[in-house]
Amino acid sequence: MSTRNLKYLFKPASIAVIGASNRAGSVGALVMRNLLHGGFQGPIMPVNPNYQAVAGIWAYPEVAALPMVPELAVICTSATTVPALIEELGQWGTRAAIVISADLKQSGDEQGNTLQTLMLER
């Protein structure tokens, strides 16, 4: 495995949070809170078509609307959206992604296994 993109995972200059949310207790809200209060200094770009702003930061309705290519994308959406998001982000130039989808692969779940395989192939 190549390590050339690890710097984008561990020390990104910009982050998009796909599925960012204002809904208390949601994964998207927790990720936003942790980034905002954890000392990250670069641009944080929430992506969610249901919000104009998340945690006081302007939100974008889709990845294509972002003002810049994020070095890291944190994906907090349903597993069914992940393969297409990974492909879109890769085509756009995003170098690393973290997927936080509880329903991506559940034990013995064939759909979850298929989605995980599709994501990894992108």
Do residues 98 and 74 touch, judged by C-beta distance below 8 A?
yes
Look at residue 103 in the predicted model and tell me its pLDDT. 65
Tokens of 7: 């710097």
CA distance 95 to 12: 9
Look at residue 99 in the predicted model and tell me its pLDDT. 94
> How high does pLDDT run on average in the chain?
88
Q: Is the pLDDT of residue 5 over 90?
A: no
CA distance 119 to 104: 10
User: What structural domains and CATH numbers belong to the chain?
Assistant: 13-121 (3.40.50.720)
57-86 burial, b if ≥16 CB within 10 A, otherwise e?
A: bebbeebeebeeebbbbbbbbebeebbebb
Mean pLDDT value across residues 28-46:
96
